[in-house]
Structure 1
Amino acid sequence: MSDSLWWLPSLLVFAIAGAIAVFGIGALRRASLRRDAATDSSLLELQRRAGGLLVRTDNRVQESEDELGFAQAQFGDAAVIDYRNAIDTARRRLREAFLLQQRLDDAEPDTVDERRRWNTQIIELCTSADAALAGEDARFRERRSTERNAPQQLLAVQTQLAAAELRADEIRAVSQSLSARFAPSALDALERHIDDASELLVSASGLLEAASLRIQGGGVEPVADVLRSAHDDVTRSGGALAAAELAAARIAAAETASAGLAVQLQGAIAEAREVRDGHVDPAAAIALNLCVDQAGMALAEHARLARSGGVSADPVADLDALRAAIDRLDAATSAARGQQDRLEHARIALGGALVAARSHIAAARDCIGARRGVVGAPARTRLAEAERQLMLAEAESDPVSALDIARRAVRHADDAEALARYDGEIRGM
Structure 2
Amino acid sequence: MGAALLALGGCAVAGASAARAEDPVSLSEQGQVTDRVGALGGREAAVAAALDRLYERRRIQLFVAYVRDFSGRSPQGWADATAQRNGLGRDDLLLAVATGDRRYGYSADTDSGFTEDQLAEVAREAVEPALRAHDWAGAAIGAADGYDAVLAGRPVTAPPLTPGPADPGGGSGSAPGWAGDLVLPVVAVGAAGALAAYAYSRRRRGAGRDGGRTTTGWGGQPETATAVPLLQLDARARALLVETDDAVRTSAEELGFAAAEFGDEAVAPFTRAVEFAEGELTAAFRLRQQLDDAYPEDDAARRRMLDEIVARCSEANRRLDAEAADFDRLRDLGRNAPRALAAAQERARDLAGRTATAAATLTALRGRYADSASAPVAGHAERAADRLAFAGEQLDGARAAVGAGETGRAAVHVRAAEGAVDQAAISVDAVERRAQELAEAAGKLPGALAETDADLADARGLLAAAAAGTPAGDLGGRIARAEAVAAAVRQEVAAGRYDPLDALRRVEEADGALDEALAGAREQESGRRRAAALLDRALLTARSAVGAAADYVTTARGAVGSEARTRLAEARRHLERAQALAEPDPPAALAEAQRADGLARQAQELAERDVGEYRDPYGGPAGPGGGWGGTG
Q: TM-score range by the shorter chain?
A: 0.3 to 0.5
| TM-score between both structures, scaled by the size of structure 1 | 0.44
The answer to which structure, 1 or 2, has the higher relative contact order (CA under 8 A, 6+ apart) is 2
Q: Is the strand fraction higher in 1 or 2?
A: 2
Instruction: Report the structure number with the largest CA radius of gyration.
Output: 1
| TM-score between both structures, scaled by the size of structure 2 | 0.31
